[in-house]
Amino acid sequence: MLQIQDTLVSLDLLERHFLCDLASCKGECCIEGDAGAPITEDERRDIENLLPEIIDDLSPAAREVIARDGVAYVDEEDDLVTSLVAGGQCVFATFGPGGMCYCAIEKAWREGRVGFMKPISCHLYPVRIKEYPTFTAVNYHRWKICKCAETLGRAKGLRAYKFLREPLVRRFGQEWYDELDATADEYFRQYGD
């Protein structure tokens, strides 16, 4: 672990290679799983506010779940997460040509229809954040469906923390990321690649 300001960062974030390979996985992280994407109360409000703009982009089953249960629920680990269709697929998952899965929220953001990109936990994946009273844990989550992303990242020589620069800056700020980057440089100088 590395300490960066008030966070503890898993060494896996530095050591692992990662580059999303949507052509291979087709966005399976939005389809598979036993819980929705972690969100904050503020993000729930943001999503509820933009819902009228994206509701027509969602599947009938997703619209039914949202009408019945809302955009989020508290899961078994007591985390607020996005609602799911049929126990697995995020309600905001939409599909394009070839079965490629897209986030309806991000699609609307890219089209300029909404001002919220998507939940930070989705933007940060494969990083998972855990808040503790005195620090924040920044962990790299390994999941078999992302094996292709690790393989592509290794082939391109792209470390996970470099691939995740934009969401890490969004969550922790530029100063935090610059400290992480400098620490990573020093780590690799001392211990090698």
Element (H, E) at 72: strand 72-74
- Check residues 145 and 69 and name the one with the higher pLDDT: 69
Task: Inform me whether the pLDDT recorded for 72 exceeds 80.
Answer: yes
pLDDT in tens, 151-178: 989 999 999 999 999 999 999 999 999 9
Average pLDDT, the chain: 91
Helices (H), the chain: 12-15, 22-25, 41-54, 60-69, 104-110, 120-124, 147-156, 160-163, 165-172, 174-191
Neighbours of 61 (CB within 10 A): 12
Is the pLDDT confidence value at 143 over 80?
no
Confidence of residue 31 (pLDDT cuts 50, 70, 90): confident
What is the identity of the amino acid at 38? Answer: P
Rounded distance between C-alpha atoms, residue 116 and residue 47, angstroms: 8
Q: How far apart are CA 164 and CA 18, in angstroms?
A: 9
pLDDT at residue 87, rounded to an integer: 63
| pLDDT for residue 64 | 96
Q: Are the C-beta atoms of residues 70 and 57 closer than 8 Å to each other?
A: no
- Distance between terminal CA atoms of the chain? 17
Q: What is the pLDDT of residue 86?
A: 82
Which pLDDT belongs to residue 28?
A: 72
pLDDT over 90 at 192, yes or no? no
User: For residue 45, is pLDDT > 80?
Assistant: yes
Give per-residue pLDDT as tens, 104-131.
999 999 999 999 999 999 999 999 999 9
Q: What is the pTM of this model?
A: 0.88
Neighbour-count burial for 95-106, b at 16+ CB within 10 Å, e otherwise = eeeeeebbbbbb
What pLDDT score does 34 carry?
72
Percent of the chain with pLDDT over 90: 72
Q: Which of 70-79, 85-94, 159-168, 169-178 has the lowest mean pLDDT?
A: 85-94
Angle of helix 174-191 relative to helix 165-172, nearest 10 degrees, comes to: 130
Q: Where are the domains of the chain?
A: 1-18+126-193, 26-120
The C-alpha angle 75, 78, 80, rounded to 5 degrees, equals 65
Concatenated DSSP letters of 152-192: HHHHHT-BHHHHTHHHHHHHH-HHHHHHHHHHHHHHHHHH-
